[in-house]
Structure 1
């Protein structure tokens, strides 16, 4: 009789070897290590929002002033048609993810009934002194699915103890505690270092304030000149530096000091802290509503969008309610046009129709984990990663079946992995089969938009020229903005060259380009 045991053992060995081979061949390469510093979750949430609506509102709205004296009679404050739901609806309808209210400006008048002062809505005729604008906005934002932020001015021109450092800091933290414990989740707190001319010795206990805010609202990002979560961009024009790092050293800038606007605008490639910049600007020339002022045009806002959101900085756009308590129709009209412009340009990513490839891919080229195809997906958590060993060639190729017309490049880095890219450029293949330079840029960060004269091509390459470590790209967009830049190239689609029509020639040129020197 033939013994079966040896055959059985042999088969078991073969099966074990096959399973081992299968398991090793399907093993995925882990994600690369982040490069420090990296953002906290609240900073990522703040950055993803991209745009917030700032609402400067108070007694200044009724006195036609910007900086109140702190001695205006509260009876002047009576916005009879006030409707916080309208504010939230305007923000939501036109693409803003957050609303930020001046709960108290420099004049000290409080838009909520603070127990620490009578200089507030409770001393006004509005709603017979029992109204609470912060509560109204908090409820409207919650119902509308928007995030809520608050500004509590450190400078207080009404409070008698202002100027007495210890006493006033206790007063201020008492009011901050009210705002952060009464109204649900607060996602953003805006601070500045403004002081009266005669109060240079007045000291603000910023570190204590920051600790209190993060204790009471752990998910809230804090804005000030130096962070700790987001910094001032160094101007009130809504414009960031063309190079803009989220990295920063707070010791280089003093809150309220305005010491180095360029450093604030550009950040620091070698900064030890993650403190990205925010661009603040008003839709009108003033911050509070004035009947004599008109809003900026939608095209001006679009230009600011490129220079803020498109330079790695969320845009904080002030749209002040009027004396009736509503956002004015003329402001709404501009915001509507601004929204339509953005949707028209950025709702159609031409890169989605491209054949994507790369100079190298981390891990298995057949695995989609770090594939160049990831760059057309929305979100931070999928990205293209090159082979770590190929540091001299970091290139993405986009081949289209037909010639495309475009003038905007959009890029995003997965910022949870750190900010990496220092320099990059975009080339296109011309009708003679030669690479032509289109545009170059420096930092990317959460989002970078570059606008340039209109060009046409069927084959593009994005080259990362310099990076702190090997680059990661989470999104790539190719867009056509037909509003900002006139088309410099004819749109005649009936006359095409032999080069454009010859698919074989295009693919041959493309294959050769991959082996050519970048």
Structure 2
């Protein structure tokens, strides 16, 4: 009996060794970054003093009384964002002119010194409350550049900025993202500020440890290097972030990430629904169409980025009707495009698979399960049998990024009745890659991983 138990223990130990969990490769996202990746699409709200002065960058000498929305309704903003499919909103609590949308104790350039609501208003508070009501997340943009504050350009200003950070990070509930703008110009004294980035970042970590921080080099997510609404066909989520800094002038060096970067710092794609970031009445007829926004979605979310779409709230304090209409039409286009995954739960086979990460995970509709090729196998293919001939023009691939970004190159083939024929190809995948192509009719699809830095891992494949 003892011998039998001993043999069973040995066998179980061998099984445990052979059934080891997949080891990560290179830099990997933390849990907060994984949650950020899953958001994919959320809104930017540029609403501040510039809304009332017809400027994009204010000069800091505006009268606080110039800020005077007549119908401010943050619940309308949150309601529209929720209906549009956005997962959150990030508000410009202070832009470069220094005007604060909340009653800060550290400046006289704020709503507290305006006639609006007799100096008792607080836009940050109202939007934070509205986001909570509608079940979306709330984030903060706080420009370090301050063209109004008398301390700007001195050593004391960095502490002033950190004090305002503390106000925003401790008074308005959970903050999902804190947005640093790298712009650094002159203040009222004619001097530029030497920013204490270590202190700024540490303040966020101290008071909101789960908040994602954005700047050119992170530390958590990075700028994509343009404001046109697109990531790049080759887009690594890894970066050597210590090589760069907020305001780094050579964005070409980090815009697509660094293939062998030692830090996980994925790209965020920020773009406005209008030509400007702030509201201008003469742009009411220049709102991006739903088709244009759909192309932006494919080029951002579909190329391993998150989409941060700006909505310039108007002088009333409302999302303009034209912007709202376009957002709703954009939502309908997305819903229609991805209504039916024709590969879901269809028969799948792979040229290589680990027992613990079988190919059936690849189209089970659960992005938290993965297929993985065997250790040492860096090229593999997955076949999907659709059962009968189907029409499709889009394929969506999600890499198992919990284990690192590995895939460098792949292609997609469709069965033409006698052989597989290439219909699309790409380089990196990352969190999500969407490839579009002329409509195909086929019963079988093959995805070939032709180059990978380690054994490839894919969470989901969808066909639409």
Relative to the length of structure 1, the TM-score reads 0.85
2:344 pairs with 1:355:
no
User: For the Cα contact (< 8 Å) 2:147–2:186, is it kept in 1?
Assistant: no
- SS state of the match for residue 254, structure 2? helix
Match of 2:169 among 180, 200, 210: 180
How far did 1:171 drift? 1.0
User: For the Cα contact (< 8 Å) 2:162–2:200, is it kept in 1?
Assistant: yes
Change (3 A) 1:14 1:247: closer
How far did 1:132 drift? 0.6
Change (3 A) 1:21 1:201: closer
User: For the Cα contact (< 8 Å) 1:353–1:400, is it kept in 2?
Assistant: no
Runs of 5+ consecutive residues of structure 2 not aligned to the other structure? none
Match of 1:160 in 2: 150
2:426 pairs with 1:441:
yes
How far did 1:22 drift? 9.1
Q: Note the alpha carbon deviations across 1:332-385, whole angstroms, 9 max, x for none.
A: 11000100101111121111153111112212xxxxx41212112344421111
2:259 pairs with 1:269:
yes
Match of 1:498 in 2: none
Match of 1:483 in 2: none
Q: Note the alpha carbon deviations across 1:403-436, whole angstroms, 9 max, x for none.
A: 11111111111211111111111111213x1221
Change (3 A) 1:233 1:200: farther
How far did 1:265 drift? 2.2
2:33 pairs with 1:43:
yes
Match of 1:338 among 315, 319, 330: 330
- SS state of the match for residue 330, structure 1? helix
Match of 1:311 in 2: 303
Match of 2:294 in 1: 302
Distance 1:469 1:108 in 2: 48
How far did 1:62 drift? 1.3
User: For the Cα contact (< 8 Å) 2:342–2:386, is it kept in 1?
Assistant: no
2:456 pairs with 1:466:
no
Matches within 5 A, 1:108-123: 108-123=98-113
User: For the Cα contact (< 8 Å) 2:344–2:365, is it kept in 1?
Assistant: no
User: For the Cα contact (< 8 Å) 1:380–1:413, is it kept in 2?
Assistant: no
Distance 2:42 2:204 in 1: 20
- SS state of the match for residue 148, structure 1? strand
2:237 pairs with 1:250:
no
User: For the Cα contact (< 8 Å) 2:271–2:310, is it kept in 1?
Assistant: yes
Q: Note the alpha carbon deviations across 1:122-165, whole angstroms, 9 max, x for none.
A: 1222222101111111111112221111011111111112122x
Distance 2:13 2:186 in 1: 70
Runs of 5+ consecutive residues of structure 1 not aligned to the other structure? 1-11, 364-368, 480-518
- SS state of the match for residue 255, structure 2? helix
Q: Note the alpha carbon deviations across 1:386-408, whole angstroms, 9 max, x for none.
A: 2225x264110011221111111
Match of 1:456 in 2: 441
Match of 2:401 among 399, 409, 415: 415
User: For the Cα contact (< 8 Å) 1:380–1:415, is it kept in 2?
Assistant: no
Match of 1:426 in 2: 412
2:129 pairs with 1:128:
no
Q: Note the alpha carbon deviations across 1:53-79, whole angstroms, 9 max, x for none.
A: 000001111122111121111112111
Distance 1:121 1:318 in 2: 22
Q: CA RMSD in A?
A: 2.0
Match of 1:73 in 2: 63
Change (3 A) 1:25 1:356: farther
User: For the Cα contact (< 8 Å) 2:48–2:99, is it kept in 1?
Assistant: yes
How many residue pairs get matched? Answer: 459
Match of 2:185 in 1: 196
Q: Note the alpha carbon deviations across 1:159-218, whole angstroms, 9 max, x for none.
A: 112122x11111111111111111111111000221226867521011111011111100
Name the structure where strand makes up a greater proportion of residues: 2
2:386 pairs with 1:400:
yes
How far did 1:254 drift? 3.3
Distance 1:16 1:196 in 2: 74
Distance 2:382 2:228 in 1: 35
